[in-house]
Structure 1
Amino acid sequence: MGRRVAVPLPAQRIVSLVPSQTELLFALGLGARVVGMTKFCIHPAEARRSATVIGGTKNFDFDKIDALQPDLIIGNKEENYQEGIEQLAARYPVWMSDISTLPDSLSMIRRVGLLTQRAEAADALAAEIDASFATLPPLAEPVSAAYFIWRKPYMVAAGGTFIDDLLTRAGFRNVFGALGRYPEITPDQLRQAAPRQILLSSEPYPFGAKHMAEFQEICPAAEIRIVDGELFSWYGSRLRHSAAYFRELRCRN
């Protein structure tokens, strides 16, 4: 992002503004140093018992953050909001990630390891994730799919997103890959795209079995599936489980 961040080493009071990076910090053995996190940071389960909730990913409680006096804040370009990040960066060291692909996520893991003096653990974690994805070769005939993240309005993960990259690795061809980022989609657009599968993510919108019928009505020939959104979109230590999950999805295709 072209920013230079001076961080005191080792950082002792860390605020994480992104759920997947919060989980990563705990996976690297840094849980005792995480003093603040967002209300969406639900993993690991014990995290909230030791840290202060400082609002959401796009609405920070600055008074709570000030009270914590962090010496390092970790955020993400897509998940956080520019105005809030700029306000924090004027007072604290704020390190930002920018993730669009699996290699981006592996680089982020290693960089966070360097930043927090956990380089050896971070390198091992990144290598484990990389090796697990290496067991998922590209399919000769990927399954055409649409990946929905929101309802009312319908929104999908399209090209240039981390989800799109993982869809390809999981053996899918994103029928909306030519579109940018997270566009709104009409029922007619979905009908014309005619995906073989419609993937309804468990997050950020909590799609469930009750929503499957409305998509089946739009695309009667498509298979409608509820998928684990965390394993498609969390780009930290949770990626250890993604390749195995994608292998299961392939077996059911």
Structure 2
Amino acid sequence: MRVVSLVPSLTEAVAVTAPRLLVGATDYCTHPAGLDVARVGGSKYPDLDRVRALRPDLVLLNVEENRKADAEALRAAGVPVRVTYPRTVPEALRELADLLAALGVPDDPDWLRAARRAWAAPAPALTRRAVVPVWRRPWVVLGADTFAGDVLRRLGVANAYAAHPERYPRPELAELRSREPDLVVLPDEPYRFTADDGPEAFPGTPCALLSGRHLTWYGPSLAEAPALLAGQLDRPVSRPE
């Protein structure tokens, strides 16, 4: 089987589990390090001619990472696609197991077993209430029914916008501040928040700088995500008011 992945986390999952199957990936597929496959452009705007030229038996996509138009174009060209859409950690673990089985992997890999163990404990009480920007200029935050929101919930962090009707609301900065969160969570992707770019917008409020890969990717990174993210959440930075 020849697989092209347009989803960085699935690229990593296939590459570390069944590397001979993977023949193509996006320019943003950075894990595992040194991945040597054909590149087909970005996740949002892949070069479909390059994808088809690789003669894939399956192309992997995600509802949020990729465009519906590209999935439809590939299907119309006779290219089989598999579209993922996990919104919780258990859903991600199930989808990964189903995908690997569909690719002919006979047993769950060690990293998937480790991920199940890492997330097996019941979710703790919600002790902190956070706003979670994923972009600025304009500000975009996590809303309802998102995978990253479920990851944070399982680490004891409530999303202040979890009940918002939109999955990715675009509030003004003044509104974000008016929510008076206990914590502002700033991942380093898709927008690269840093100690010098993000916390200054929330003076006096602790800001946790998180690994975006561990907050939003569903693949081998899930095995180490709980411990790594918990440590980052417990080391917030704060700017004076």
| TM-score normalised by length of structure 1 | 0.87
Instruction: Choose the corresponding residue for 1:151, options 136, 159, 163.
Output: 136
SS in 2 for 1:211: coil
Structure 2, unpaired ranges of 5+: 237-241
SS in 2 for 1:165: helix
User: Is 2:124 the counterpart of 1:98?
Assistant: no
User: Is 2:196 the counterpart of 1:210?
Assistant: yes
Structure 1, unpaired ranges of 5+: 1-10
User: Is 2:224 the counterpart of 1:236?
Assistant: no
Instruction: Choose the corresponding residue for 1:176, options 147, 158, 161.
Output: 161
2:3 maps to which residue?
Answer: 14
Alpha-carbon separation, structure 1, partners of 2:34 and 2:55:
22
User: Is 2:171 the counterpart of 1:185?
Assistant: yes
Q: Confirm or deny: 8 A CA contact 1:73 1:93 kept in the other structure.
A: yes
- CA offsets per residue over residues 139-197 of structure 1, 9 Å max, x none? 33421111111010011111110011001011101111111211112122112211111
Q: C-alpha root-mean-square deviation of aligned residues, in Å? A: 1.7
Q: Confirm or deny: 8 A CA contact 2:190 2:212 kept in the other structure.
A: yes
Alpha-carbon separation, structure 1, partners of 2:131 and 2:87:
18
Alpha-carbon separation, structure 2, partners of 1:247 and 1:194:
22
Instruction: Choose the corresponding residue for 2:99, options 96, 112, 131.
Output: 112
SS in 2 for 1:105: helix
Alpha-carbon separation, structure 2, partners of 1:112 and 1:143:
35
> How far did residue 246 of structure 1 move?
3.2
1:72 maps to which residue?
Answer: 58
> How far did residue 251 of structure 1 move?
4.7
2:40 maps to which residue?
Answer: 54
Q: Confirm or deny: 8 A CA contact 2:177 2:202 kept in the other structure.
A: no
> How far did residue 54 of structure 1 move?
0.6
SS in 1 for 2:197: helix
Letter in 2 for 1:44: P
More helix by share: 1
Give the length in aligned residue pairs.
234
- Share of identical aligned residues, percent? 32
The answer to which of 149-158 and 61-70 deviates more is: 61-70
Alpha-carbon separation, structure 2, partners of 1:134 and 1:114:
22
Letter in 1 for 2:151: L
1:226 maps to which residue?
Answer: 209
Q: Confirm or deny: 8 A CA contact 1:171 1:250 kept in the other structure.
A: no
Q: Confirm or deny: 8 A CA contact 1:215 1:224 kept in the other structure.
A: no
> How far did residue 133 of structure 1 move?
1.5
Letter in 1 for 2:65: E
- CA offsets per residue over residues 16-73 of structure 1, 9 Å max, x none? 0100000000121x222211101110001121x2x11111111120221122111111
User: Is 2:183 the counterpart of 1:166?
Assistant: no
Alpha-carbon separation, structure 2, partners of 1:249 and 1:209:
13
1:35 maps to which residue?
Answer: 23
Label 1:209 to 1:70 Cα distance change in 2 as closer, same or farther (>3 A).
same
Instruction: Choose the corresponding residue for 1:126, options 112, 118, 133.
Output: 112
> How far did residue 241 of structure 1 move?
1.0
